[in-house]
A and B are shown apart, each in its own frame.
Chain A
């Protein structure tokens, strides 16, 4: 069964600190992996998209990594800001792309 598991379920960090969110997947055939940020009451917004051949991709203070052999991905947030408080969702695209398998998300709270 295609699954995406994320950890931790939730996380609280102090403003300015770094953090890393994890994603493990069992999705086949793998097409690409995406990280989304979802603010409360909003739809998800794309942060990064990585295909099989990409190991890392950055978007400002967000850096995603992908290990296609171990089927793991991480999202590293540097110098966190209060506005980073949101749910971060790992999404894996299976097959021809119209089947996106979503993780349950990691709820991040950045405190001042």
Chain B
């Protein structure tokens, strides 16, 4: 597609409910990132995929958070037993190059985000 598409745009969940957020990156993009952006803050890194391989998941805040990209394109971020502190915008970004590649700084294209509100 023309850009990074995320769905749903808005999700309201009751505390304890499981949610799944989807990211459709730009076709052919190797790298895919998930970020969490709290209100009034900059995005914070959650996890990074290079194709289907999850190379870095150091930013995932707890074992309730799980991300996958089984075929190296679409990715899903799953949050189990949601808590109020999980309320945030979840941003997905993709880039053509692999992170840290010899071609230098890779430009990330961000989706519009999925806003999660946990009641």
B66 to A: closest C-beta gap in Å: 19
A49 within 8 A of B: yes
From A4, A32, A44, A98, B110 is in contact (CB under 8 Å) with A44
* 12 more A-B residue pairs beyond the given contacts A42-B113, A46-B107, A102-B42, with a C-beta to C-beta distance below 8 A: A4-B42, A32-B104, A43-B4, A43-B93, A49-B107, A89-B42, A89-B43, A97-B106, A98-B31, A98-B56, A104-B41, A104-B42
Q: With an 8 A cutoff between CB atoms, is A45 at the interface?
A: yes
Size band of the interface chain B makes with A: 20 to 34
A100 touches B41 (CB 8 A): no
> Which A residues fall within an 8 A CB radius of B?
4, 31-32, 34, 41-46, 49, 51, 89, 91, 93, 95-100, 102-105
Residue numbers in A under 8 Å from B33 (CB-CB) = 98, 100
Interface of B, secondary structure class, is loop
When A41-B112, A99-B45 are in contact, do A32 and B55 touch as well, CB less than 8 Å? no
Task: Point out the residues of chain B lying under 8 angstroms from A99, CB to CB.
Answer: 45, 56
Task: For B91, list chain A residues within 8 Å (CB).
Answer: 43-44
**Shortest CB–CB separation between residue B54 and chain A, in angstroms?**
11
| Bound CA span A46–B95, Å | 12
B104→A102 contact, CB < 8 A: no
Q: Are B100 and A95 in contact (CB under 8 A)?
A: yes
Contacts of B99 in A (CB 8 A): 96-98
